[in-house]
Structure 1
Amino acid sequence: MKENLNVAVLQLDLAWENARKNLEIFSNRINALKEDVDLIVLPEMFTTGFSMNAESLAEEAEGAAFDWMKKIALEKDSAVTGSVIVKEAGNYYNRLYFIFPNGDYKTYDKKHTFTLAKEDQTYTAGKERLIVEYKGWKICPLICYDLRFPVWARNTVNYDLLIYVANWPETRIHAWDTLLQARAIENMAWCIGVNRTGKDGNEYNYNGHTAIYDCLGKSLFDHNRKEEFTEVVSIDRDSLIETRNKLKFLQDRDSFTLN
């Protein structure tokens, strides 16, 4: 059990469809961290940007990006999470890896593929939610468009931390800000959203707004930041449990099952 979790969030401009360059950029940023961290959170499709060019960009499961994440996890003695394009059994997936410091790992395939960008025509949707147990914390990692679907994120298992990795465009950033805060409040959990900056190959602009909210919806730092940055924040489980026990909101949640 670790009551305080030191989390590094990386908001960076992604080089379009250039895995080698992106891994170099992230390596430099992570190696520059001076603090000890327990968890490093990267954006969605952090090696390529949000591309539908899966046929030429996809890696095999446990490919180069996976190996890089394992190396970072070992060197920094920290868990690492983020999503990449993966090909497996003839299908393409927007797959999140959660890699533990010892090299063990869990995966989550994005459930809600983004129809507006025809992601549903390129990537196979996942079917199962992932709950990770790490240093005494229960963590639920999700991907971008999942943020719009509160039922999928509903805290029925008393997870402590909800994570969204994203490529969320500037045109709809108000929704990102609002829904991240709402997911924290309604699920009585810490909520982290990591987005990118810059412009992608389809000329979409991204303005960041990476954020960390506590279970009452309070932001831990300026969540309107558009520039590239790396932030290390300590989140604590004691205050979360104390607030839950005091307010008991989760005890009044509706019961339901997912089909």
Structure 2
Amino acid sequence: MSLTETDSEESVVWRIGTNEFDVVDGAAWDTHAHPDRHELLWGARGVLTAETEHGHFAIPATQGLWIPAETSHRVIAAAGTSFRCTFIDGDIASPSPRTTAVALPDVMRAVLDRLEAPPYLAAGPRLHAEELVVSLLEPVEASVVDLPLPLDLRTRAIAEALLSDPADDRSIEEWGHHVGASARNLSRLFVAETGLSFSTWRTRARMRRAIEWLSADYTVAHVSRRSGYATPSAFVQAFRREVGRTPGEYAARRDEDSAKSA
């Protein structure tokens, strides 16, 4: 997929193009795939997440998310979020066959900004800029929480409510009254559909949202309250169990990856 735009002097064929998005009230792009182009989400300010067949990813301002061509994905941006989306010709070699975080050194951010769509650079400079971007793409470690979603209408309603408000501490018996099912049946459905008990699923849902908020630079105290923990220390312990590091270590590692790529 090579796209062509005509300016006053010449026809410019471009293989990489960047668009900027500012989300005022929150937005979600339904699950879709691009068969002939890769997608790079980056430059996020606010809470930007992507759900793909390879996991659920929060996109911090310090990194980008590479989504290979043909990968089904859904993108969710909270109110007040801004970000950039760069589409890359599917013929260009992918740095990874799976969705992955990538380093974004300052020079790469500057070049990606110049590779606006439609193109404003002339053909020669644009070709050199695109080659530079491709050479700088480097996967880095990303924190992913495996959280399969249940399919039954009742368990799915509970799951979506907990993802919307992970601080909701209703018991499974109380949820049963809410959706019209017994606690025993709901417990069985959660295990059958997700492989996780209701309690474990809720904990992972809290961690998934916590990673989103930490990536948007909210404080640990703020995230712990919003995630449903009575104290920051309780949240830190739960985060370490599920993610393998403390929230502070997660933030430090993220900043370290950013510094290395600068």
Q: Same fold (TM over 0.5)?
A: no
Higher-Rg member (1/2): 2
TM-score in terms of structure 2 length: 0.26
